[in-house]
Each structure stands twice: as C-alpha cells, then as structure tokens.
C-alpha cells in the first residue's frame, strides 16, 4: 500500500496519529510523483515529444511531470532524437549537470539503437545507452504519444522499486573507438576552458 493511502486513513481517525513506514517508501512516493523532465530533443522525435506529454492537452502536470529547460532542476532526461558524435559531449555534460537521483528515457529508434542510421553512417552514435544509463526505452519512429506517456508510468513504477541507499548510478567510462587518438575520450574539458 502506498504511503499516501496510509496517511489518508490515519487522518480519518483524528489528529495526532502516527504513520509507520520506511524511508524508502516515503522517498520513492515523493520521487515517483515528481518527475521533472528535461526535454533533450535533438531531432524529429523532439517534435513528437512536445506533442506527447509536456506542453499539450494531455496535462502531464497531474502526474507531476513538469518540463524543465534547466538540467539543474530536472530529474528525468528524455533523450529524443538522433545523437550525433558532435552532440554526444553536450548530452553528457547536460546529464552530468542534473542532480542525483536522475533517470533517462530513450525515446525513438535513433536514441535506442541508432535506428535508420545504424548502417553506413559515420556520424551517429548507435544508441544513447552507449554512454548514458537508460531506464526506459521507447520504440517507434516516432513513438505514439501513448507510448511516451506509458514510458513515464513505467518509469514511475521503476522509481518505486528503488532504494535511497548510496547511489551507484553513474556515467559509464566512455571510450570512443575512432581513427584519431585525440578523440579517445570525451571527458569534460578543463575548468578554465568552459565556455
């Protein structure tokens, strides 16, 4: 039973009641109902994302899903669109600017696996899970709005299973196989070079 239901039943019996729960349940309840989403739109799926949940009559606010343009205010990054090798460092930097805990939704075939750019392409990353820990994948080119909303519900269920223990989620060490040795990594640049 969710903690919110116990709060309701406790209030029915008058003031001064005590609700016993675990911290995990309390935090998971709060986090799962407050997914502030950063729309990381890079290609045509971004248009579908805009039409799917944050800005339209589907009223995602009732789920606590609120679009945030600033990664420092966001919990969930929805990566929507093709990730090119030039965009990859920017996506990593934006992900690193998000405060923990944070989750990633990969929306669309290009973001899941490279999609139609899987073969014969020199400039496209084959899936955002090559460098980010993805929680929910949405197939489709582009996905239906129902699929995007279902992904948010799936992510809510996943958040409810998590523990608030020491967070082991982190960006995988990224090594790009490439012809140039200087392209071996996309580590963040030196502090003095941040533009």
Partner 1 sequence: MNIDELRDHLCGQYPDLCPLFSIEFGDGTLQVECRGLYDAAADLKSLGFDMLGMVTAVDRGEHFEMVYRLTSREMSVGMFLKCLVPRDKPHTRSLYDLWPAALWQEREVYDLFGIEFDGHPDLRRIMLPEDWVGHPLRKDYQDERIIKRPDYI
The binder of partner 1 chosen from 122, 165, 168, 195 (CB under 8 A) = 122
Residue 119 as a binder of partner 1 (CB under 8 A): the answer is yes
Rg of the chain's alpha carbons, rounded to an integer? 19
Binding region for partner 1 (CB under 8 A) out of 16-24, 57-65, 117-125, 167-175: 117-125
Q: Based on CB atoms, which residue is closest to partner 1, 52 or 88?
A: 88
Please classify residue 179 by burial: count the beta carbons closer than 10 Å to its beta carbon, then call 0-12 exposed, 13-18 middle and 19+ buried.
exposed
Among positions 133-192, residues that touch partner 1 (CB under 8 A) are 177-180, 182-183
Task: Please tell me whether residue 34 adopts helix, strand or coil conformation.
Answer: coil
Stretch that binds partner 1, among 15-23, 32-40, 113-121, 151-159 (CB under 8 A): 113-121
Numbers of helices and strands, H then E, in the chain? 6, 5
Q: Is the dihedral of CA 113, 114, 117, 118 positive or negative?
A: negative
Judged by beta carbon, residue 21 or residue 123, the one nearer partner 1 is 123
The C-alpha angle with vertex 90 and arms to 177 and 181, in degrees rounded to 5, equals 25
By CB under 8 A, name the binding residues for partner 1.
Answer: 85-86, 118-123, 177-180, 182-183
């Amino acid at each position: 039973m969710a903690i919110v239901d116990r709060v309701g039943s406790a209030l029915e019996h008058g003031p001064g009641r005590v609700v016993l729960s675990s911290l995990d349940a309390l935090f998971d309840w709060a986090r799962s109902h407050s997914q502030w989403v950063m729309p990381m739109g890079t290609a045509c799926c971004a248009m579908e994302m805009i039409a799917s949940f944050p800005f339209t009559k589907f009223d995602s606010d009732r789920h606590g899903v609120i679009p945030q343009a600033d990664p420092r205010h966001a919990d969930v990054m929805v990566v929507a669109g093709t990730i090119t090798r030039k965009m990859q460092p920017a996506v990593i930097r934006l992900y690193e600017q998000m405060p923990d805990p944070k989750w990633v939704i990969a929306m669309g075939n290009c973001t899941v696996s490279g999609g139609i750019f899987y073969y014969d392409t020199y400039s496209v990353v084959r899936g955002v899970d090559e460098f980010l820990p993805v929680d929910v994948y949405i197939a489709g080119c582009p996905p239906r709005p129902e699929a995007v909303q279902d992904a948010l519900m799936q992510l809510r269920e996943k958040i409810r299973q998590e523990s608030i223990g020491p967070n082991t989620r982190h960006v995988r060490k990224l090594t790009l196989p490439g012809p140039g040795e200087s392209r071996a990594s996309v580590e963040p640049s030196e502090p003095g070079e941040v533009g």
